[in-house]
Amino acid sequence: MAETVSTTTGDVLPKGFRSAELGWPALRRIPHPPYRIPLLGDLLGASRRTPLQDSLRYARQLGPIFRRKAFGREFVFVWGAELTADMADEARFAKHVGLGIANLRPVVGDALFTAYNHEPNWQLAHDVLAPGFSREAMAAYHPMMLDVAERLTAHWDREAAAGRPVDVPGDMTKLTLETIARTGFGHDFGSFERDRPHPFVTAMVGTLTYAQRLNILPFPGLWKGAARQNEADIAYLDRTVDALVRQRRAGGGGQGDLLDRMLDTAHPATGERLSDENIRRQVVTFLVAGHETTSGALSFALHYLSLNPRIAARARAEVDRVWGGTPMPGYDQVAKLRYVRRVLDEALRLWPTAPAFAREAREDTVLGGEHPMRRGAWALILTAMLHRDPEVWGEDAERFDPDRFDAAAVRGRAPHAFKPFGTGARACIGRQFALHEATLVLGLLLRRYDLRPDPAYRLRVTERLTLMPDGLRMGLERRTAPVAPREPYAASAPAPAPEEASAPRCPVHRAGD
């Protein structure tokens, strides 16, 4: 029998072997939704706008491992805590770049998030950039995070004074974009001075949305208008980053931020450097991934805080106790907000803004002692359902409860049951950056405002590879005990530790369109 090579795993298989069943010899043992129909598969009654939420519905019906089929393609989903822990074993499984992630490769190629495991640029970039997320580097970013947060609160103060509700996802997107742009690349998009999103945001959302739609479109070649728009969006992202890099080089370099590391740092062992093309891809990756997921996490957290005034009051009391009258908290004071961090973790549990990640078998293996997998076979770990596993989180898993993350609860929980940043060597490199930024911002907003939910609002979740509350607006009231006026950061923050004293700060350049 003639052979064929799988485009997803590289395995050589007998001709006629169905790619939908690739690597799962006993696929029939895995349940699937009822009422499959030709061509459409399991799409009857499904929505092309909410495939993730449809999968959550099927997960509840079908159990900890299931499969879905669409237009001849079959996908295996895993969400049970025991099966997830099995797939987290780095000796047997690795990251799989598939589905929407592979659809982003025309945008960012072999950047950190989208590189295949065999591509050398992942390890090179990871080793070069990892020091950019060290404690010393994070302490240097902290003042710039505060500066951007102050721009947010100035905007919210004006809205509160006028009695207008705020656009939470929109404003969190502005905040996180400015934060990663300034701390990583010395750049200012001027987001808070704009009535509409910066064109970079529009292009970024366009590429994410297009990548998501490619997961379910039966014949992408027929969607020529959308493809042309996607090409235009990619071109705009590339032009923006190319201009940023040219500006940095023309200015003789910055002061040690992520862009400087990309331009000037050689691998400590091999002496290799990132190519110009790869630098562009990494910058786009950090600008997109470095703000999109964090803005969603902050938006979900603020939504739940507005609906749970007792939880908000407890978090606010912690901020008042830990920060006291300090106008602007120091770097080390953020980590002391343990309950605020629990609020953030609980929001990420219910709605992990990166709601799934894929794993592939390194060698032939058996998942959970029951499901044979050939080398290269992969499954999508449904994080948003893993975080709702009743065997781990209880029958009230849909309830928002930050105490699920107190120290005793965490110690007593099954391993690998909480995975908002992926797992293993390919987990998110910027997770500590995101957690510090989000905890800082929640603390600042809780100290300054009482949050008033719109009583008519019901949570709707937008899916564009990442998750975001749709149409979330809320009212604000300035707290009666005013926060002390802003002082220069050096005067208000604790004296830096010796290793922080020399931490670099980078100049910031304003962006044009």
- Return the H-helix or E-strand segment holding 4: strand 3-5
**φ, ψ for residue 216 (rounded to 5)?**
-120, -10
Give the 3-state secondary structure of residue 509. strand
Q: Please give the Cα distance from 405 to 394 (Å, whole number).
A: 14
Catalytic residue among 293, 294, 383, 423: 293
Q: What is the DSSP string of 443-487?
A: HHHHHHEEEEE-TT----EEEESEEEESS-EEEEEE-SSPPPPP-
Q: Give catalytic status of residue 428 as yes or no.
A: yes
Report residue 94: phi and psi, to 5°: -140, 170
Q: Is 421 one of the annotated active-site residues of the chain? A: yes
219 given a catalytic annotation: no
C-alpha 66 chain-centroid distance: 25
Q: Which of 185, 286, 357, 421 is catalytic?
A: 421
Q: Which residue has the tokens 């159990």?
A: 63
Q: Which amino acid is at 226?
A: A
Distance (Å, whole) CA 185 – CA 288:
13
Q: Residue 82, CB half-sphere, CA atoms under 13 Å: how many?
A: 9
At 146, phi and psi to the nearest 5? -65, -40
Q: List the catalytic residue out of 77, 357, 428, 506.
A: 428
Neighbouring residues of 455: CB distance < 8 A, sequence distance ≥ 6: none
What is the rounded CA–CA span in Å between residue 442 and residue 363? 44
Longest distance between any two alpha carbons in the chain, whole Å: 79
Give the type of residue at 366. V
Residues involved in catalysis: 293, 421, 428
